[in-house]
C-alpha cells in the first residue's frame, strides 16, 4: 500500500497536475471528493471532468472552484463521426470482445459509443493530461479508455460493487486489460485490495493504494447542531412521521434493494422475546429502491406482519434535517448487506450515537483500524443474541463521544484528501 504523503518535492511554484476525471456519473461522490482535495491542496491540481452527470445550479456554484472544465457526453452519432467507422482499432476490439463472449447487445452499443468517442476524444485529449482518473471500471464506464494513447498515465479507482458484483469471462477480460497498464489502482480497504490481487494477480500489489471517499459534511454539521437538543425536538419529529413515542426505533438497511437482506434479518429476529419485540419499532428505508422489483416492498411488509413486528416502510425522501433527526432517534441500526465497500450510513449512525450491527463478511477493516465501537456478526444466526445485547445496552456517552472523535479523525474530508494526494500528485 502506498503511504500518505504531503511532500511537495521542495517546489512551491510547481505547475498544477492536470487531471481528467471519467467514469461513474454520481456527482455527489465525485464533487465531494475533488472539492476536499482542492481545499486541502489548493493550486496543486487542475481538474476537468467528462461523462459525469451534470451538476445542478446549486452544485455548480459549490464545485466551480475545483473543476476547470466539465465536458458533456454525446450518445447520438453525427455525420462528423461516420469517418470513425473505418477505424481499424474498432474492429480489433470487437474481434477480441467476441472471443471473450461479449453479447450482441454490448457489441452494438460499443460500436456506437466508439464511433462517437473517437471524435470527442480527439478534442479532449489534446489537453495532454498528466493523469486520467477512471472511476468504477466496469465495461459500461470505460468509453474513453479505448481512445487514450499508449503513454497516457491513468489511475483506476474501484468503488466496491464494480469489483464484488462483476463476474463472467468478458468482464474479467476488460478489467484485467485496464489494470495491466494502470499507473495506480485505488480501493478502500485491505479486504478489497486482497480481492483485486486474488482476482487479477499479485503483480499488481505495488500499484494499489488505499483511499477514502469523503462524506458530505452537511449531515454531520446538522447532527452536531441537533444532538444537544434532541430531547426537546424528538417528540415533534416522531409525531410528524407517525413513529411511536415510547418504542425503540430500529432501522434496517439504507435502501430498498434486496441486497440489504431485510427479510432475512426480520426472520432471524422473529423469535426474540416478546417483551423486547413489544418495545421495538422497525423502520425499513425505501426512498431508493429497485423500480424493476415491485414485489420486494410487499414481501417486506408481509414479513413484518408475519413476525408480529410493529414497523413501516419509509419511502419518503428525507431532508437533511429529517435524516439527521431519524439517525439521532435510532436506537439500533442493522446493516447486513450481501456486499458493500465502506458504508457511509454506518459512520453516520455511529456518529449519531446508535448501536450498530453489521457483518464480518463485509470489508470494514478501516472501521476496525480506527477503533470504532460497534457489533459485528459472523452469520445471521448470531443476530438475535447480538440484537438483544444492543437493544438492552444503556446509553454510553463516553463511547458515543469516542466514536465521534474517531470518525472526525479518520473519515472526514481533510484526512480523506490526504489519502488521495500520493495517488494523484506523484
Same domain membership, residue 74 and residue 42: yes
Q: Which residues of 16-47 are buried (b: 16+ CB within 10 A; e: fewer)?
A: ebbbbbbbbeebebbbbbbbbbbebbeebbbb
Same domain membership, residue 290 and residue 384: yes
Same domain membership, residue 375 and residue 266: yes
Same domain membership, residue 266 and residue 149: no
Same domain membership, residue 167 and residue 146: yes
Same domain membership, residue 224 and residue 155: no
Same domain membership, residue 198 and residue 325: no
Residue 178 lies in a domain: yes
Residue 167 lies in a domain: yes
Looking at residue 60, its pLDDT comes to: 60
Looking at residue 387, its pLDDT comes to: 98
Global confidence as pTM = 0.89
Looking at residue 242, its pLDDT comes to: 96
**Domain that includes residue 103, residue range:** 17-211+414-424
Residue 5 lies in a domain: no
Residue 48 lies in a domain: yes
Looking at residue 14, its pLDDT comes to: 77
Same domain membership, residue 245 and residue 107: no
Looking at residue 8, its pLDDT comes to: 43
Looking at residue 26, its pLDDT comes to: 60
Query: Which pLDDT tens digit goes with each residue over 74-111?
Result: 899 999 999 999 999 999 999 999 999 999 999 999 99
Looking at residue 10, its pLDDT comes to: 47
Q: Which residues of 203-218 are buried (b: 16+ CB within 10 A; e: fewer)?
A: ebeebbbbbbbbbbee
Residue 59 lies in a domain: yes
Same domain membership, residue 202 and residue 221: no
Looking at residue 220, its pLDDT comes to: 97
Calculate what percentage of the chain has a pLDDT beyond 90.
81
Q: Which three cell numbers stand for residue 124?
A: 479532449
Number of separate domains in the chain: 2
**pLDDT below 50 — which residues of the chain?**
1-3, 5-6, 8-12, 58
Same domain membership, residue 87 and residue 204: yes
Same domain membership, residue 245 and residue 115: no
Amino acid at each position: 500500500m502506498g503511504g500518505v504523503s504531503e511532500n511537495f518535492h521542495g517546489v512551491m511554484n510547481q505547475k498544477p497536475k492536470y487531471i481528467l476525471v471519467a467514469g461513474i456519473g454520481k456527482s455527489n461522490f465525485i464533487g465531494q471528493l475533488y472539492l476536499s482535495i482542492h481545499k486541502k491542496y489548493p493550486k496543486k491540481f487542475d481538474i476537468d471532468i467528462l461523462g459525469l452527470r451534470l451538476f445542478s445550479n446549486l452544485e455548480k456554484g459549490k464545485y466551480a472552484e475545483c473543476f476547470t472544465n466539465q465536458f458533456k457526453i454525446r450518445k447520438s452519432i453525427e455525420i462528423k463521426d461516420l469517418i470513425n467507422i473505418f477505424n481499424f482499432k474498432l474492429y480489433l476490439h470487437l474481434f477480441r470482445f467476441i472471443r471473450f463472449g461479449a453479447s450482441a447487445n454490448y457489441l452494438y452499443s460499443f460500436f456506437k459509443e466508439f464511433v462517437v468517442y473517437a471524435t470527442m476524444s480527439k478534442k479532449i485529449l489534446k489537453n495532454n493530461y498528466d493523469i486520467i482518473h477512471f472511476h468504477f471500471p466496469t465495461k459500461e464506464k470505460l468509453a474513453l479508455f479505448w481512445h487514450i494513447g499508449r503513454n497516457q498515465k491513468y489511475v483506476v479507482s474501484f468503488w466496491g460493487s464494480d469489483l464484488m458484483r462483476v463476474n463472467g469471462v468478458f468482464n474479467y477480460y476488460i478489467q484485467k486489460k485496464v489494470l495491466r497498464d494502470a499507473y495506480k489502482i485505488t480501493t478502500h480497504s485491505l479486504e478489497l485490495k486482497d480481492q483485486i490481487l486474488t482476482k487479477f494477480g499479485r503483480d499488481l500489489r505495488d500499484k494499489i493504494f488505499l483511499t477514502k471517499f469523503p462524506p458530505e459534511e452537511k449531515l454531520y454539521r446538522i447532527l452536531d447542531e441537533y444532538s444537544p437538543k434532541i430531547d426537546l425536538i424528538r417528540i415533534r419529529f416522531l409525531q410528524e412521521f407517525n413513529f411511536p413515542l415510547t418504542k425503540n426505533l430500529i432501522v434496517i438497511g439504507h435502501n430498498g434493494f434486496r441486497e440489504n437482506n431485510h427479510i432475512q434479518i426480520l426472520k432471524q429476529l422473529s423469535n426474540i422475546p416478546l417483551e423486547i419485540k413489544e418495545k421495538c419499532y422497525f423502520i425499513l428505508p425505501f426512498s431508493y429502491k429497485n423500480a424493476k422489483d415491485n414485489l420486494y416492498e410487499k414481501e417486506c411488509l408481509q414479513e413484518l406482519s408475519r413476525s408480529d413486528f410493529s414497523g413501516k416502510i419509509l419511502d419518503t425522501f428525507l431532508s437533511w434535517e429529517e435524516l439527521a433527526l431519524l439517525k439521532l432517534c435510532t436506537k439500533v441500526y442493522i446493516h447486513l448487506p450481501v456486499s458493500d465497500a465502506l458504508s457511509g450510513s454506518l459512520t453516520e449512525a455511529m456518529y449519531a450515537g446508535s448501536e450498530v450491527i453489521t457483518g464480518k463478511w463485509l470489508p470494514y477493516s478501516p472501521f476496525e483500524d480506527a477503533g470504532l465501537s460497534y457489533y459485528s456478526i459472523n452469520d445471521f444466526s448470531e443476530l438475535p443474541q447480538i440484537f438483544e445485547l444492543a437493544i438492552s445496552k444503556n446509553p454510553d456517552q463516553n463511547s458515543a463521544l469516542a466514536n465521534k472523535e474517531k470518525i472526525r479523525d479518520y473519515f472526514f474530508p481533510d484526512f480523506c484528501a490526504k489519502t488521495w494526494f500520493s495517488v494523484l500528485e506523484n
